Amino acid sequence: MGDITSKRVLYAKGALFVALGTLAVGLCLVKYPDWQLALLVGIAVWAFCRAYYFAFYVIEHYVDPTYRFAGLGAFVRYAWNEWRQRKHS
């Protein structure tokens, strides 16, 4: 399967991710209504967003401009190989 090139489909995909995340958090807070849980979920979402940004933008633009990641699995393999190379150097 090739890359998605339609802007409409890409925006729809992004909207579906936001809707899914909102639904999941909403259901968690309906089942367990607690402001501390809401705060922790908010922090977790923010932290994972920053980690995703790090994996795909920071690494590509500041650490290794020659590498292009195909997904989180590719990033994990890249990070693992980098760690192993530094460990054995």
Q: What is the pTM of this model?
A: 0.67
Residue 50 dihedral angles phi and psi, to the nearest 5°? -65, -40
Residue 16 has a pLDDT of 96
Radius of gyration over every alpha carbon of the chain, rounded to an integer in angstroms: 17
- pLDDT digits 0-9 by tens, 29-84: 999 999 999 999 999 999 999 998 888 888 888 888 887 777 888 888 888 988 89
Confirm if 55 and 72 have CB atoms less than 8 A apart: yes
d(CA 76, CA 74): 5
Q: Which of 62, 61, 52, 59 is nearest to 81 (CA)?
A: 59
Q: pLDDT category, 20, cuts 50, 70, 90?
A: very high
